[in-house]
Copies of this chain bind each other. A is one copy, B any other.
Amino acid sequence: MSTNLTRSDAIYASLRRAILEQALKPGTKLPEDSIGDTFSVSRTSARNALVRLSSDGLVEIKPNRGAAVAMPTLEEAEEVFALRRCLEREVIERLCKRMPKDGIDALISHVREEERALQASSPRSIRLAGEFHILLAELTGSKLLIDFISQVVSRSSLILARFGRPHSAECGIDEHIQLIEALKNLDADAATRIMDHHLHAVEDRAKVDDKDDGPDISEILSRYMSASE
């Protein structure tokens, strides 16, 4: 159907993935020509992708001074998690009112994939952990809610990348499993409690070093040129 991916779409997707998997760390400069060179496209396409990433809050663009992977402050981190608790509570409430028939199955199979990726210590595990929460939002059926949850989850990844331990998988998988159990029983209170605890655990994981950023954009990005997954 719409196999219509423009070049800037591809770059947008690749950069996004690289950032979410913490290959591009917060603060890393993203010069337009470096990106263009890496992906063999013009600055125009790179620029377009950067603008969109900036709208997502993943990249910060300063006028005349270029783009860099966003560096959320601790203050912003707190805002993100506060809002995230608000939004994820909404998700849970809706799911406990109406859970799609094959919703639980989808969640379970996602957690399975998380486990696999974690055992293989693949960088995918970082992204998959976040995508569990996006899957939850998808089960509500609200496009907008999916969009908003995606935004806070993305920013959380960035926060973990900035303040968390080396390659901290964002979420504890066992807590995901507990949450699924509560949702299966349509127990909104329990689910909310688990979710709050879960998010606090994630937030607490963001209290350590502040490792500096590395260069070599080209080298890193070359691994992200291919399609998704």
Contacts and interface: CB of A to CB of B under 8 A. Distances in A.
Interface string A134-152: 0000000011110010011
Interface in A9-64: 44, 47-48, 51-52, 55-56, 63-64
A109 interface: no
Nearest to A51: B51
B142 A83 contact: yes
A90 interface: yes
B4 A145 contact: no
Contacts of A143: 76, 79
Contact of A148 (B2, B76, B83): B83
Nearest to A80: B144
A82 B142 CA distance: 10
A87 interface: yes
A220 interface: no
Contact of A52 (B55, B64, B82, B148): B55
Contacts of A55: 52, 55-56
Contacts of A145: 79, 83
A144 B51 contact: no
Contacts of A152: 144
Interface of A: 2, 4, 6, 44, 47-48, 51-52, 55-56, 63-64, 76, 79-80, 82-83, 86-87, 90, 142-145, 148, 151-152, 155
18 contacts: A2-B63, A4-B63, A6-B63, A44-B44, A47-B48, A48-B48, A48-B51, A52-B55, A55-B56, A76-B143, A76-B144, A79-B142, A80-B144, A82-B142, A83-B142, A86-B86, A86-B87, A148-B148
The 3 closest A-B pairs by CB, nearest first: A55-B55, A79-B144, A4-B63
